[in-house]
Structure 1
């Protein structure tokens, strides 16, 4: 059996076949994992809603409102919670692209009186051990019960009321900006004010 001579045409065909097989394989794997990924994302949102809203008996995910805003690239999601058809608050997803490593995305739960019930960090790429501390109780508790109309969401270093994360002022600014965005949208759409 003689060895086949390597030519440019043979190498091009081999590379083309490998590329086609890899592309088809990746597409197939993406189709297989699309459902589980969507389910996991929905579960994370439902868990976040349970953390940021008072007890509710409606399905806020089904009743989500998408609001276009110049404050965000995508539509802003608003989830209204009710108990026996009475508003108990709303959860709004706020985001900022100004984190140290980019996107900071949070879900902020508001009571009908416009005070913050709780905040959950949905996405962030901040520096481990510094900016990632935005998820910790010590940082989060300074926002609970506060009305952003009376509590300046900027770090104290910038004239605000927020104790910044040590070594992560940029992350703190992004967190405050995302919270402010969520609050501004909540005020514009608060069902108890209408």
Structure 2
């Protein structure tokens, strides 16, 4: 067959059509297993951060323009706890997502790290069992902790949450997500709208504080360290 613009176009169109159909078929095959895996992971995380429960009811919220999910757990018809899927974008390498479990009275039952991309051996320790961050809040009610402007804070910021060694930025991010979870918990219990930044403070004030801290950290980094690991250590120390 003579090669012409028309038949070449037809061939390319056919190839594209077949490829698109193939992608569609693969998507149809994998979408249900992916959804099932995600649901199983969520169920597992809930089991780790909540007291025993029979079922959960889900509520969606937005705090600081970030999506937050609250799971109200019940056992024998009574509320047994609240789990909050919280997040922050303040991690050293971006997003950190946590599942934070509260007893009905507001005590933090447990925390599970769902997603993080922090520096290996430094910020990644937030997911380790018995790490300083978890040890500072597990079994305690945030309302009874040393608060800074109405929210939990790491020791370097005047609070009493112990930081991970050489990973203060990651530690601050973890605490930021905890504060957002605490705000969501209080909203679920009271029925009132959740407060931004887990404190009721103006969002602009919260971001201004974070911006100043990040700027100072960046200055320290430029003058004291090189490389990914050294950079986090330099910023944090």
Structure with bigger RCO (C-alpha 8 Å, 6+ apart): 1
1:77-128 deviation digits (Å, cap 9, x = unpaired) = 1111122112211111111011111111111100112110001111112222
**Counterpart in 1 of 2:43?**
46
What are the equivalent positions in structure 2 for 1:149-188 lying under 5 Å apart?
149-151=143-145, 152=147, 153-188=152-187
- CA distance, structure 2, for counterparts of residue 186 and residue 154 of structure 1: 18
| 1:81 correspondence with 2:73 | yes
How many angstroms does 1:157 deviate by? 1.5
How much has 1:15 moved relative to structure 2? 5.0
Verify the 8 A CA contact 1:87 1:191 in the aligned structure 2: no
Tell me how far apart the structure 2 counterparts of residues 24 and 127 of structure 1 sit (CA, whole Å).
Answer: 40
* Partner in structure 1 of residue 87 of structure 2: 95
CA contact 1:131–1:165 (8 Å) conserved in 2: yes
1:90 match: secondary structure? strand
Q: In 2, are the aligned partners of 1:81 and 1:90 still within 8 Å (CA)?
A: yes
Cα distance in 2, alignment partners of residues 9 and 131 from structure 1: 57
Matches of 2:154 and 2:47, distance apart in 1:
28
The runs of 5 or more residues in structure 1 that have no matched partner are none
Task: Deviation per CA, 1:22-49: give whole Å up to 9, x if none.
Answer: 3322222111110001101111111111
Structure 2, unaligned stretches of length 5 or more? 192-237
Structure 2: distance between partners of 1:15 and 1:169: 54
RMSD over aligned Cα atoms: 2.3
In the alignment, which of 22, 25, 29 is matched to residue 28 of structure 1? 25
Aligned partners of 2:50 and 2:83 also within 8 Å: yes
CA 1:99–1:13 in 2, change beyond 3 Å: closer, same or farther? farther
Q: Would you say 1:147 and 2:141 are equivalent positions?
A: yes
Contact 2:97 2:115 survives alignment (8 Å):
yes
Partners of 2:117 and 2:5 lie apart in 1 by 44
* Structure 1 or 2: more helix by fraction: 2
Per the alignment, in what secondary structure is the counterpart of residue 130 of structure 2?
A: helix
- Per the normalisation by structure 2, the TM-score is 0.69
Offset, 1:9:
7.0
Any conservation in 2 of the 1:72–1:95 contact (CA below 8 Å)? no
| SS at structure 1 position matched to 2:106 | coil
- 1:71 and 2:70 aligned: no
Query: Is 1:113 paired with 2:105?
Result: yes
